[in-house]
Structure 1
Amino acid sequence: MNKKLWLLGLFALISPFAALFFGAANLSAIELMSCLTVGCSSDVNQMIFWEIRAPRVFVGFLVGSGLAVAGATLQNVTRNGLADPYLFGVVSGAGLGASVATLLFDSNLAENLGLQQVLPEISFSLALPFAAFLGALFSVILVQILVARTFGSKTEHMLLAGIAVSFMLSALSHFILFMAEPFAANKVIFWLMGSLARIEIWYAWVILPVLLVSVALLYLYGRHLDALLIGDDNAKTLGVHVPQLRILSLAICAALTACIVAYCGGIGFVGLMIPHIIRNWLGVTSRILITGCILLGGSFLVWVDVMARVTLANQEIPIGIITSAIGSVFFLIAMRQRTP
């Protein structure tokens, strides 16, 4: 196991640096090494490398790690290998928030309602992630309210509530987009597909603290989370406060997912695939699982983003399309292997 973990760590260390060599702009290896050490040879290359390519790789690694950690924690807490971070309806809630922001900040409705005088200086680039985060948070709270009375004993109620909330918020989002201007609606639809195209470096300083705090708490309660794997009754006999621990774990998953979706849109299947792979490679205990998910999840999304950038000439594929395509195949293979 230690050998596999070291190899995984080496892969995670190499992947971000290797990904810097890929992109729409043709930067030579010498130029890239120069940018990393003494500085780029021109202001244009400096902007391309430090304001576009490097932030995109760094944030992509954080996003992949966060989604994988959230998925692993959720699967262990619910003891459901099919659990995904988006079961809270987070993507649908974020889509609703983004749709409202688009309608208010990027359409003629703001002018018609006289909101331009109230919100004249707010940038749409800031309003979109903030509104998406509020929408994601709203969906999480709504799911928790729906399952409050049975939350401590029946986690399957949360899955059903998440599906119901997801459909309801999606319906609201679609109605808003139907009423919005076509150009504004297209921007939200592209954003919901998941992309790192508009990443800025300050996104990392929002996602990184959330990820670090989440991982620290999960490491701290690692043994308690492992006890949940043998059943709630057995965990209680070991002194674990099961309802409180489950609420804390789900809150961590929700915060991680909501923060990521707010800035990057819907990137599905990462939280479903990566934990399964790590369990087969390294084991099921929480601390080793989380460590593996950080390393492999981040590396995976970095290379998916590279694929999104270089597959089509002069065009970029939304990341969510690629992860969904890979994830669906992975899901079918996993089902076939489990079927007797």
Structure 2
Amino acid sequence: MPQGKPLLVALLALILILAAITAGVSLGAASIPLKTVWGVVADRLVPGSVIKDWSAGRESIVWDVRFPRVVLAALVGAGLAVVGAVLQVTTRNPLADPHLLGVSSGGACGAIFALLHTGMVFGLITVPLFAFLGALAATLAVIGVTRFSGSSAERLILSGVAVAFVATALSNLLIYLGDPRAVQSVVFWMLGGLGLAQWPHLLYPALVLAGSLAWLALRAREINGLAMGDETAATLGLPVARLRAQLFTVTALLTGVMVAFSGAIGFIGLMVPHVVRLFAGSDHGRVIPLSAAVGAIALVLADLAARTIMAPEDMPVGVITGFAGGLGFILLISRRPAA
């Protein structure tokens, strides 16, 4: 990539993210002018910097309802897309993503267990912690089943589907055994949604995403070596087993935290990295940050569609990503050469 071009791409990605966020905040069951949207934001960040010519109701819609929801959508979309990009390299399977490999289902199971059976024993971090543990357990289960049954791309996907079914069954059992009065609240984790977004909660996914991206950026060359195959990576002096274990842990952490705040949202991690590789190539120094940017834009727009298609009803965003991702998945496997 020529010198200066990465800066241009980063600037373009930032502009597109801001445009998607602006559209997500402005549009909905009640549209709000762009001037009002950014006027509210400016007044909140720098009180008294603009003349307030909007109602308190509109200010509440922008700042308390839509803006945290759209920011959460951007964080979750970025996180899931990064997880997909890394898993596809780590497993050397182009069909790998946190949903297909059961990682999202494991995270949702952990979140449901915390909500219905433990309570907030560790404060606000309780649900993210249990979601991470569930995602990590699902990841280890997929690896174990694949090694037991013979390593191959097809067996990995089948193992992931099996683990997803088991995790979903456990989630259903936890719901059945839980307090019936609290069951309605966990439907959110099963279908995927962003309606529970609040400003204080955004700190956790933001910090985990920033830390994970920074760590992965430092490991970009090692990830490129891993993409060439274990033997090639070993000849380059890479600790293959340790690196793969570290990558699985980071992806489980990212998935668990994102699932804790958004529920199980599928196919963002599958499709976005493939779209990015079409124009960014195979260098993960570019693929990973661009996947984060495109994933953020994709989920913000998907959530916008979920809020407007059946307005004023709020459709779970997992339904939108399921439809779009399912069609994309069919297109993807139809273009793969037969074995």
**What range describes the TM-score normalised by the shorter chain of this pair?**
0.7 to 0.9
In structure 1, what is the equivalent of residue 20 of structure 2? 15
Q: How far is the alpha carbon of 1:256 from its aligned partner?
A: 0.5
1:206 has 2:231 as partner? no
CA apart distance, 1:50? 1.4
TM-score, scaled to structure 1: 0.83
Aligned-pair identity in percent equals: 35
Moved more, 30-39 or 210-219: 30-39
Corresponding residue to 1:303 among 278, 283, 301: 301
**Residues 242/127 of structure 1: CA separation in 2 closer, same or farther (3 Å cut):** closer
Deviations 1:275-320 (A, max 9, x none): 0000111111111101210111101111111111111122011011
1:291 and 2:289 correspond? yes
Structure 2: how far apart are the matches of 1:184 and 1:326?
Answer: 31
Cα RMSD, aligned residues only: 3.1
Distance 2:62 2:114 in 1: 30
Aligned 8 A contact 1:88 1:166 in 2: yes
Confirm or deny that 1:36 pairs with 2:35.
no
Q: Counterpart of 1:108?
A: none
C-alpha spacing 1:296/1:154, structure 2 compared with 1 (3 Å): same
Q: Alpha carbons of 1:219 and 1:52: their partners in 2 closer, same or farther (altered >3 Å)? A: same
In the alignment, residue 33 of structure 1 is paired with which amino acid?
Answer: W
Q: Which of 53, 64, 69 matches 2:82?
A: 69
- How far apart, CA to CA, are the structure 1 residues paired with 2:61 and 2:165? 40
Count of residues paired in the alignment: 325
CA shift, 1:49, in A, is 1.6
Alpha-carbon contact 2:267-2:322 (below 8 Å) kept:
yes
Partner of 1:20: helix, strand, or coil? helix
Contact 1:94–1:135 at 8 Å: present in 2 too?
yes
Q: 1:94 aligns with which of 100, 107, 126?
A: 107
- How far residue 122 of structure 1 moved from its aligned partner, in angstroms, is 7.0
Q: Distance in 1 between matches of 2:28 and 2:220?
A: 39
Equivalent in the alignment of 2:47: none
Question: Does residue 216 of the first structure (1) align with residue 214 of the second (2)?
Answer: yes
Question: Which runs of structure 2 are paired with 1:64-143 in the superposition (5 Å)?
Answer: 64-104=77-117, 129=128, 131-143=130-142
Assess if the C-alpha contact under 8 Å between 2:189 and 2:259 holds in 1: no
Decide whether the 8 Å contact of 1:93 with 1:169 is kept in 2: yes
Q: How does 1:117-266 map to 2 (within 5 A)?
A: 129=128, 131-143=130-142, 161-180=159-178, 184-266=182-264
Conserved in 2, the CA contact under 8 Å of 1:194 and 1:320?
yes
Please report the TM-score for the alignment, with normalisation by the length of structure 2: 0.84
Equivalents in 1 of 2:220, 2:127: separation in Å?
A: 35
Please list every run of 5 or more consecutive structure 1 residues that lacks an aligned counterpart in the other structure: 106-118
**TM superposition shift of 1:321:** 0.7
d(CA) in 2 for partners of 1:86 and 1:312? 25
Amino acid at match of 1:254: A
Q: Is this contact kept in 2: 1:59–1:201, CA < 8 A?
A: no
Question: Which deviates the most, 159-168 or 265-274?
Answer: 159-168
1:313 counterpart SS class: coil
Cα 1:222–1:91 change in 2 (3 A) is: closer
**What is the alpha-carbon distance in structure 1 between the residues aligned to residue 18 and residue 56 of structure 2?**
28
Partner Cα distance (2:246, 2:132) in 1: 19
* 1:90/1:139 contact within 8 Å kept: yes
Report the counterpart of residue 279 of structure 1 in structure 2: 277
Seen in structure 2, the aligned counterparts of structure 1 residues 50 and 80 have a Cα distance that, compared at 3 Å, is same
- Look up the equivalent residue of 2:224 and give its one-letter code: D
CA contact (8 A) 1:4 1:282 kept: no
Q: CA deviation at 1:219?
A: 1.1
Bigger shift: residues 285-294 or 265-274: 285-294
The letter of the residue matching 1:241 is: P
The answer on whether the counterparts of 2:136 and 2:249 sit within 8 Å (CA) in structure 1 is no
CA drift at 1:85: 1.8
- Return the letter of the residue paired with 1:135: G
CA displacement 1:174-200 (0-9 Å, x = unmatched)? 223234455533332233111011111
Tell me the CA shift for residue 88 of structure 1. Answer: 5.0
Q: 1 CA distance for matches of 2:122 and 2:29?
A: 27
CA contact (8 A) 1:99 1:173 kept: yes
After TM superposition, give the deviation of residue 136 of structure 1 in Å. Answer: 3.1
Q: Comparing 133-142 with 53-62, which one deviates more in the overlay?
A: 133-142
In structure 2, the residue matched to 1:111 is none
Contact 2:41 2:63 in 1 (8 A): no
